[in-house]
Chains A and B, each alone.
Chain A
Amino acid sequence: MGMTTAQKIFAAHLVDEPFAGTKVLGIDVVMCHEITTPIAIADLMARGKDRVFDNTKIKAVIDHVTPSKDSKTATQAKMLRDWARRHDIKDFFDIGANGVCHALFPEKGFIRPGNTVIMGDSHTCTHGAFGAFAAGVGTTDLEVGILKGVCAFREPKTIRINLNGTLPKGVYAKDAILRVIGELTVNGATDRVIEFGGPIVDAMTMESRMTLCNMAIEAGGTSGICAPDRVTVDYLWPFISDSFASKEAAVAEYSKWASDADAEYDKVIDLDLSTLTPLCTFGYKPDQVKSIDEMAGQPVDQVYLGSCTNGRLEDLRVAAQILKGKKIAPTVRGILSPATPQIYKDAVAEGLIQIFMDAGFCVTNPTCGACLGMSNGVLAEGEVCASTTNRNFMGRMGKGGMVHLLSPATAAASAIEGKLADPRKYL
């Protein structure tokens, strides 16, 4: 019997199986941010174990509230900063170089096919786009990861999702993953890896695959995974060109992590997305999804473009294409947070930031802040935000606030109209 990508990665990283069904894995990349790591650091210090297992395998960033908004967040940033210095963690990204973790770390080339990745952040599943097993964990798992370089998992079963057909105009990876979550429901993939494949995924950029994998957790998934291929190698080439004679050689090497043709899946779901329309969530759970046709016209107070889901350059390009030469509605606040400094610089160079600012958007520094209601765009009681983020829980972006999840294109169209709007008429 063949193996899935996740099974292959588990087999290659197995350190211990203390009990049947429990696999302790060696971890290749342990990622840290300033919200969930400081308590791990404090606990290690209190235990007299202020050590790290390998300072080259630990990556850290201040991204959730940056620049710090008050004394408490300044203290959290300081704890992470001091710890990174103390242990000589070279891959530490502080203000000026910091960006949203799940956009920044891939951009730096830190994730390779076949890697195991953990972080104290539920959207760590994003990194599965590279053919890695990447899982969000809590602070204790993170702490043990920092100290010992291991993490325990139940061996996950895999749900294979084939995205068939071609995406229609105005329909993007965000719409595809909202469709998938609608199909699976919010706990349909609990203790499962969601493996994305099929012609639509094969044709997707790495940015789009990251958008897909980013929201695997919204269906309960441990990780999302895409098979490594030429697209993966093209993206990683600046970081791996010294290791391979050619891109073809890299593709051949990395393709060993792809699931075998006879791999056994928990479930296989085929979705033809050729007639998919732009989607939008309507409630407080990410599986509450409707076509934008049914949602159009509902007023919004704020449009937020950014986050680890959709703050990448291709997202900004799509939104700018719609916003070019237009003004956003006077009743709406438009906020753009490019996910990393590089994305910000590229967007300046391409003239995208000019388009956003001319349209009336406020452009912030890269940060996670607004997505989880911590900074840079918190909603007031009763306000509604059309958002390219990944989670629409009640009060997520601010107590009493409501969030509609949608694609960058749908966000841009909604900003122009001041209400949920179909992007296809602007393309």
Chain B
Amino acid sequence: MKTFGGPALFLDRSDINTDEIIPAKYLTEITKEDLKPYLLEDLKLPGFDPKSDKTYGAGAVVTRANFGCGSSREHAPWVFEVNGINVVIAQSFARIFRQNMFNCGMAAIELSPEKIDQLFTYAGSADASIEVDVANSTLTIKGGGREESMQFDISPFDKALVLAGGWVDYADSKY
């Protein structure tokens, strides 16, 4: 069973757009792997360094509302994927980004503002990490000697895509 999550990267802002996740000038790359050095390159947030080990060592992203708005570029999920991030947890997502995540067999998890706030209480812990069990719709956050688990909702279709490894394999076997 594929594992989801890892060290948590907290991005404390709403409306982080696809240009900030991967700028358009890199859309000329024609393999996913080539996107690797450009993760979140244009994202300007207080205390956030796109080039840091913390960014490149992350396995899960926690953020606020309307994450991934803007372009349809799947390069946004891909730049996460090639850097080992396969979970984004947000209060809400832009539709295309959310679908792109599931289509790639990754998880875009929506939680209530209260639960997102609760996850952000771990943002100060250097060792904060998140594990996601997609099959059972639970996530566990650990850090600073604390640990807690939460349930999340995921549509049965999105869950099926994640468990199938993505939409191409799912669709090709079915349609």
User: Which A residues lie at the B interface, using CB under 8 A?
Assistant: 15-16, 18-22, 24, 35-36, 38-39, 42-43, 47, 49, 64-65, 70, 72-73, 75-76, 79, 120-122, 124, 136-141, 143-144, 147-148, 150, 152, 154, 186-187, 190-191, 220, 222, 285, 372-374, 391, 393-396, 399
Q: Is A65 in contact with B70, judged by CB distance below 8 angstroms?
A: no
State A292–B65 Cα separation when bound (angstroms): 29
Q: Is B70 in contact with A391, judged by CB distance below 8 angstroms?
A: yes
Report if A24-B175 is in contact (Cβ < 8 Å); known contacts: A138-B74, A186-B15, A220-B69: yes
Is B166 among interface residues, defined by CB-CB distance under 8 A?
A: yes
State A391–B175 Cα separation when bound (angstroms): 36
Which one of B19, B23, B103, B175 has the highest number of Cβ atoms from chain A below 10 Å of its Cβ? B175
Pick the residue among A72, A140, A143 that contacts B30 (CB under 8 A): A72
With a cutoff of 8 Å between Cβ atoms, the chain A residues found around residue B65 in the complex are 187
Q: Is A49 in contact with B172, judged by CB distance below 8 angstroms?
A: yes
User: Which B residues lie at the A interface, using CB under 8 A?
Assistant: 15, 17, 19-20, 23-25, 27-32, 42, 44, 65-66, 69-74, 77, 92-96, 99-100, 103-104, 155-157, 160, 166-168, 171-172, 174-175
State A382–B81 Cα separation when bound (angstroms): 32
Report if A187-B69 is in contact (Cβ < 8 Å); known contacts: A22-B157, A138-B99: yes
State A271–B8 Cα separation when bound (angstroms): 44
A246 to chain B, nearest CB (A): 39
Task: Given contacts A21-B155, A120-B72, A372-B24, list 20 more A-B pairs with CB under 8 A.
Answer: A35-B28, A38-B30, A39-B32, A42-B31, A64-B27, A75-B30, A120-B74, A122-B70, A138-B77, A138-B103, A143-B168, A147-B172, A152-B157, A186-B15, A190-B66, A190-B95, A220-B66, A374-B27, A395-B23, A396-B19
Q: Is A150 in contact with B171, judged by CB distance below 8 angstroms?
A: yes
State A70–B156 Cα separation when bound (angstroms): 44
Residue of A nearest to B169 (CB): A47
Which one of A38, A285, A395 has the highest number of Cβ atoms from chain B below 10 Å of its Cβ? A395
State A328–B65 Cα separation when bound (angstroms): 41
State A395–B42 Cα separation when bound (angstroms): 8
Pick the residue among A38, A72, A139, A393 that contacts B20 (CB under 8 A): A393
With a cutoff of 8 Å between Cβ atoms, the chain B residues found around residue A187 in the complex are 15, 65-66, 69, 92, 94
Report if A144-B168 is in contact (Cβ < 8 Å); known contacts: A138-B96, A373-B24: yes
Residue of A nearest to B27 (CB): A35
Which one of B65, B71, B72, B168 has the highest number of Cβ atoms from chain A below 10 Å of its Cβ? B72
Q: Is B19 in contact with A395, judged by CB distance below 8 angstroms?
A: yes
Report if A138-B73 is in contact (Cβ < 8 Å); known contacts: A19-B155, A148-B172: yes
Report if A393-B104 is in contact (Cβ < 8 Å); known contacts: A22-B155, A141-B99, A399-B23: no
Q: Is B166 in contact with A140, judged by CB distance below 8 angstroms?
A: yes
With a cutoff of 8 Å between Cβ atoms, the chain A residues found around residue B24 in the complex are 372-374, 396
B42 to chain A, nearest CB (A): 5
Pick the residue among B19, B66, B99, B174 that contacts A186 (CB under 8 A): B66
Which one of A16, A190, A222 has the highest number of Cβ atoms from chain B below 10 Å of its Cβ? A190
Pick the residue among B30, B31, B99, B171 that contacts A148 (CB under 8 A): B171
With a cutoff of 8 Å between Cβ atoms, the chain A residues found around residue B94 in the complex are 187, 190, 220
With a cutoff of 8 Å between Cβ atoms, the chain B residues found around residue A190 in the complex are 66, 92-95
Residue of B nearest to A124 (CB): B72
Q: Is B73 in contact with A36, judged by CB distance below 8 angstroms?
A: yes
Residue of B nearest to A156 (CB): B95
State A21–B92 Cα separation when bound (angstroms): 18
State A147–B170 Cα separation when bound (angstroms): 13
Report if A122-B96 is in contact (Cβ < 8 Å); known contacts: A138-B103, A140-B166: yes
With a cutoff of 8 Å between Cβ atoms, the chain A residues found around residue B104 in the complex are 140
Q: Is B29 in contact with A72, judged by CB distance below 8 angstroms?
A: yes
Residue of B nearest to A74 (CB): B28
Residue of B nearest to A79 (CB): B30
With a cutoff of 8 Å between Cβ atoms, the chain A residues found around residue B160 in the complex are 18-19
With a cutoff of 8 Å between Cβ atoms, the chain A residues found around residue B23 in the complex are 373, 395, 399
A68 to chain B, nearest CB (A): 10
Q: Is A140 in contact with B27, judged by CB distance below 8 angstroms?
A: no
State A42–B32 Cα separation when bound (angstroms): 11
With a cutoff of 8 Å between Cβ atoms, the chain B residues found around residue A121 in the complex are 72
Residue of B nearest to A21 (CB): B155
Residue of A nearest to B71 (CB): A122
Report if A139-B172 is in contact (Cβ < 8 Å); known contacts: A186-B66, A373-B25: no
Report if A393-B17 is in contact (Cβ < 8 Å); known contacts: A19-B155, A148-B171: yes
With a cutoff of 8 Å between Cβ atoms, the chain B residues found around residue A136 in the complex are 72, 96
